Structure 1
Amino acid sequence: MLRFIFVRLLSSLPTVFIVLTLSFFMIRIAPGGPFNLERPLDPAVLANMKAVYNLDKPVWQQYLYYIGNVLQGDFGPSYIYKDYTVAELILQALPYSIVLGLWALLIAVFGGIAMGVYAALRQNSWADYLLMGVAAIGNTVPNFVVGPIFSLIFALSLRWVPTGTWGDGGFRNLALPVIVLALPQLAVFARLTRGSMIEALRADHVRTARAYGLPFRSVVGTHALRGALMPVISYLGPTAASVLTGSIIVETIFSLPGVGRYFVLGALNRDYTLVMGTVVLISVFIVVLNLLVDVIYAFIDPRVRHD
């Protein structure tokens, strides 16, 4: 197992490097720059600013300089937050995104699995159609539509919760953003679980367990559910990475101080280092969480072994 983890980590390094390289050049291809203001700077001041941030050098030299700093753990200073480095901004924002994403992920995973199993056990019934209909709506309606609608109903009309901001981080402040962030993923987990559970219930080993007269709960929970969870776990890795590192839309709608908000501000203001820092963070999260998913496979499915 340790050898497998080590090999996977080594094989993931080129992926992170490719993502970092593509992101570096793509953001510089985009028109505009970090110092293109509505009121242009004096040419001498602009030249000094570019020299400070090494933007006066050729792109390939900027790239080598940036890669060298990243290998040392330095993501550079932010162009729009003058008194902060990118690492400091990410460390400040990441705890907020993780708390928000963790609650949303727990609701999505356990709620989606419960809905999927219930629908599969009552296939083609009214409960199945109702649950999958709700899941289809949750999967198709985007967050930037659901968020304002929920704010209008539950915050402005009913006044049950605030319209936004982190506040004290309590239930009332986080209820809306957590639900809005969890709904699309809950719908996907429900549909995945239902499909794989129906297939698992028709498997030969599950039929054999039924024929031996095992209790229904044992057949479903021990024999069918373990196999049905495999595609769910496969989807869990990238989903957890995107949710835990901050939802751009949800954090913007509800004015939350997470990583997603910094990504939006960095992209709008051409803050190259801030955008690159969030890209590296998301890439590392995806690599690590996908590795954890592969390890979990061995514990859920006895046919999977990593020697």
Structure 2
Amino acid sequence: MWRYVVRRLLQMVPVLIGTTLLIYLAVFALPGDPIRALGGDKPMPPAVYASLRHHYHLDEPLIVQYGHYLWGLVHGDFGETLNGQSVADVMKTDWSVTARLAITAWVFELVAGITLGVWAGRRKGGVVDTLVLSGTTLVIAVPTFVLAYCAQLIFGLKLGWFPTAGIDDGWPYSYLLPGIVLGSASLAYIARLTRTSLVENFRADYVRTAVAKGLPRRRVLVRHTLRNSLIPVITYLGVDLGSLMAGAIVIEGIFNLPGIGGQIFTAIQIKDGPTVVGIATLLVLVYLFANLVVDILYGVLDPRIRYE
């Protein structure tokens, strides 16, 4: 197992280099001069302009600029914003807000999605199955921002169950409503995926054999059927953790949460490339390590999987 983990970590290195290179090229190859944008409407003295371009390596070829960024990344440096702040310091406070929001949404979709999927899968063709399939289809069809405004109106303003904006009430109370909205679409996919996988495994020979041997239905469900059915669900959950962080921009704006969504939106507007690249790199790292954890969990869920 440890050899497999080391091999997967080594495989992550070229993936990280390739993705960060594409992100860096996409950000800094865009037309426009970020140093002139930093000066605003006032003309910048030529000496100051040249000094700033040299400081941020903008006077060098693009691939050389990326080399400087990659060298700093190896040493844990995500770069420096155009305002002279460390990108890591800028992300520190905002990242914690986005992480709490994403984890709240992820736990919600994990628990509720698997529960609904199992509930529907055990009653295939029944009323519960129909309700789950219809409800998840409705959630998928409605845009996230519409769900967010409806949730604010109903559960925040009308019923008063949750705060409608800000993080004044702390975690988890301030993050429950935006987390539920953020995880609602993924919950629908997880419920349907769990239900489909469970129905398929119920028809497998090993399940029929277990039932014929007289094993209790609950044990057949938990120890045999559900365990194998969760493999595709775990795959989706691992990838979705990074997607939730990347897709939190709209939710953070609607619920007025000071996360990296607002930070990256502002950075794009003012052409602050180092901040955009730094946040995107951190999201790539989350994706890579989430996929590593998923691969390890495969062996835990299914003993037939071996990493020799």
TM-score bucket (shorter structure): over 0.9
SS in 2 for 1:198: helix
Per-residue CA deviation, residues 43-77 of structure 1 (Å, 9 max, x unaligned), is: 52544433332223332332222222222221211
CA contact (8 A) 1:161 1:173 kept: yes
Query: In structure 2, what residue type is equivalent to 1:18?
Result: G
Q: Take 2:42 and 2:138, find their aligned partners in 1: how far apart are those partners?
A: 47
**14-23 or 120-129: bigger deviation:** 120-129
Q: In the comparison of the two structures, how many residue pairs are matched?
A: 305
What does residue 203 of structure 1 align with?
A: 204
Q: Take 2:168 and 2:84, find their aligned partners in 1: how far apart are those partners?
A: 24
Query: In structure 1, what residue type is equivalent to 2:272?
Result: D
CA contact (8 A) 1:94 1:245 kept: no
What does residue 96 of structure 2 align with?
A: 95
Q: Take 1:289 and 1:175, find their aligned partners in 2: how far apart are those partners?
A: 23
Give percent identity, aligned residues only. 36
| Structure 1 alignment gaps of length 5 or more | none
Select 2:43's aligned residue among 41, 48, 52.
41
Instruction: Mark the CA change 1:244 to 1:63 in structure 2 (over 3 Å): closer, same or farther.
Output: closer
Per-residue CA deviation, residues 165-217 of structure 1 (Å, 9 max, x unaligned), is: 11131454222211111111111110110010000100000011111121111
Q: Take 1:197 and 1:2, find their aligned partners in 2: how far apart are those partners?
A: 31
Instruction: Mark the CA change 1:158 to 1:288 in structure 2 (over 3 Å): closer, same or farther.
Output: same
RMSD: 2.0
What does residue 4 of structure 1 align with?
A: 4
Deviation of 1:40 after TM superposition, in Å, equals 4.9
SS in 1 for 2:37: coil
Instruction: Mark the CA change 1:271 to 1:152 in structure 2 (over 3 Å): closer, same or farther.
Output: same
Q: Take 2:107 and 2:172, find their aligned partners in 1: how far apart are those partners?
A: 15
Deviation of 1:222 after TM superposition, in Å, equals 1.1
Instruction: Mark the CA change 1:205 to 1:260 in structure 2 (over 3 Å): closer, same or farther.
Output: same
TM (normalized to structure 1)?
Answer: 0.92
Query: In structure 1, what residue type is equivalent to 2:9?
Result: L
Query: In structure 2, what residue type is equivalent to 1:148?
Result: Y
Instruction: Mark the CA change 1:170 to 1:298 in structure 2 (over 3 Å): closer, same or farther.
Output: closer
What aligned pairs does 1:276-295 form with structure 2 within 5 A after superposition?
276-295=277-296
CA contact (8 A) 1:246 1:259 kept: no
Q: Take 2:108 and 2:173, find their aligned partners in 1: how far apart are those partners?
A: 16
Deviation of 1:223 after TM superposition, in Å, equals 1.2
CA contact (8 A) 2:95 2:260 kept: yes
| Structure 2 alignment gaps of length 5 or more | none
What does residue 69 of structure 1 align with?
A: 72
Q: Take 1:10 and 1:78, find their aligned partners in 2: how far apart are those partners?
A: 30
Per-residue CA deviation, residues 115-163 of structure 1 (Å, 9 max, x unaligned), is: 0011111111121111111111222323222112222333344444332
Q: Take 2:108 and 2:96, find their aligned partners in 1: how far apart are those partners?
A: 19
What does residue 239 of structure 2 align with?
A: 238
**50-59 or 189-198: bigger deviation:** 50-59
Per-residue CA deviation, residues 223-279 of structure 1 (Å, 9 max, x unaligned), is: 110111110011111112233567222122212122233222222222111111111
1:58 matches 2:61: yes
TM (normalized to structure 2)?
Answer: 0.92
Deviation of 1:104 after TM superposition, in Å, equals 1.4
What does residue 17 of structure 1 align with?
A: 17
CA contact (8 A) 2:105 2:182 kept: yes
Instruction: Mark the CA change 1:258 to 1:28 in structure 2 (over 3 Å): closer, same or farther.
Output: same
Q: Take 1:109 and 1:214, find their aligned partners in 2: how far apart are those partners?
A: 28
1:223 matches 2:224: yes
CA contact (8 A) 2:117 2:190 kept: yes
Q: Take 1:180 and 1:33, find their aligned partners in 2: how far apart are those partners?
A: 38
CA contact (8 A) 2:121 2:196 kept: yes
Query: In structure 2, what residue type is equivalent to 1:29?
Result: A
Instruction: Mark the CA change 1:250 to 1:227 in structure 2 (over 3 Å): closer, same or farther.
Output: same
1:28 matches 2:31: no
Q: Take 1:279 and 1:106, find their aligned partners in 2: how far apart are those partners?
A: 23
